[in-house]
Amino acid sequence: MDLIRPSDLSDDQLDHLLREAEHWLEHNRVADKRADRLAGRSVVLAFFENSTRTLLSFDMAAQRLGAMVTTLPAEKSSVAKGETLIDTALTVDAMQADALVMRHPEPGAPDSVAEVIRAAVVNAGDGTGEHPTQGLLDTATIHHHFGRVEGLKVAICGDIRHSRVASSTHALLERLGAKVALAGPTALMPEGHDGPDGIDEAVAGADVVMMLRIQRERLSADLGDKPGEYLERYGLTEDRFKTAAPGAVIMHPGPMNRGVEITGELADSEHSLITAQVEMGVAMRMAVLDLCINGSDDTA
Ligand code: CP
């Protein structure tokens, strides 16, 4: 099956992924990380936008499951000679890959590819569209920490307009019964947004505060903020975080701009689940690749 957006998953598949990610999280903490769920299978990684966490974690996830992993060096590929994305994908498919994990700047690009290839397509981020595995790993991290998602108050703050993470994480958390508030500067909120978009209101009483970076590469005009101004007005400072619920946690999908949307001290504090998100990223992507290539037999 393809995974392009959270709505591709049935409730059973979502439950299955949350369970399986817990299984792989434990599995990855032992010295010998080998498993054979994808033994003999071929996974291609094609990233046409920069990535650290998603690229590395899909690579590790596929290798730990025993797959043969091939990474297309996008900047050196024949796309630079004018080959289309579709022809590139058809080429991968003709090589009998079992899954194509792709990141692309155009929203909807994975849909166009999935229409024409046989291999499973896993969306690793399509522009401002969706980032389903980030949404899944965020949800699994919250579920792991609190033992539940239902009833939690989650504030997602920052550049909501350009964030595929905000789309996918928001959708999954609300589906599981969390109350999600989106907050950010007006210029960085989705057009037509009519909710409470003040960061102070969103953070007050929140169980989870998730900060997002400003995606300056997607802005048509510079925000014109002076150094330190964004942090003071819209970022996560100690004073703001003190208003969150007792036991509140801090999350960030990365990459993080310390001193802009969050202080370095809070990012490294005991309240932070940021490295836990990264660890869950490998586990969740193991669960996703297994589901997309093999179907949904539980391993746990
Ligand atoms: N969260 C995330 O997608 O990070 P990368 O861009 O480093 O993959």
pLDDT digits (tens, 9 = 90+) for 177-189: 999 999 998 888 8
* 6-130+278-294 and 132-273, same CATH topology: yes
Amino acid at 41: R
At residue 297, the pLDDT reads 67
End-to-end CA gap in the chain:
21
Q: Give 222 or 114, the one with higher predicted confidence.
A: 114
pLDDT, tens digit, 9 for 90 and up, residues 133-153 = 999 999 999 999 999 999 999
Confidence category of residue 223, pLDDT binned at 50, 70, 90: confident
Cβ–ligand 1 contact at 77 (below 6 Å)? no
Mean pLDDT, rounded, for 81-97: 97
How much is the pTM? 0.95
Confidence category of residue 191, pLDDT binned at 50, 70, 90: confident
Centre of ligand 1 from the C-alpha of residue 125, in Å? 9
Indicate if the pLDDT at residue 195 is higher than 60. no
Nearest CA to 124 out of 59, 43, 56, 47 is that of 47
Distance in angstroms (rounded) separating the CA atoms of residues 272 and 246: 14
Cβ–ligand 1 contact at 169 (below 6 Å)? no
**Superfamily holding 132-273:** Aspartate/ornithine carbamoyltransferase (3.40.50.1370)
pLDDT, tens digit, 9 for 90 and up, residues 23-42 = 999 999 999 999 999 999 99
Topology (CATH) of 6-130+278-294:
Rossmann fold (3.40.50)
Centre of ligand 1 from the C-alpha of residue 287, in Å? 18
Q: 45, 50, 51, 137: which to mutate for ligand 1, most atoms within 8 A of CB?
A: 51
Residue 46: enclosing H or E segment and its boundaries? strand 42-47
Cβ–ligand 1 contact at 54 (below 6 Å)? yes
Cβ–ligand 1 contact at 243 (below 6 Å)? no
Cβ–ligand 1 contact at 51 (below 6 Å)? yes
Percent of the chain with pLDDT over 90: 86
Mean pLDDT, rounded, for 101-105: 97
The structural domains of the chain, with segments of one domain joined by +, span 6-130+278-294, 132-273
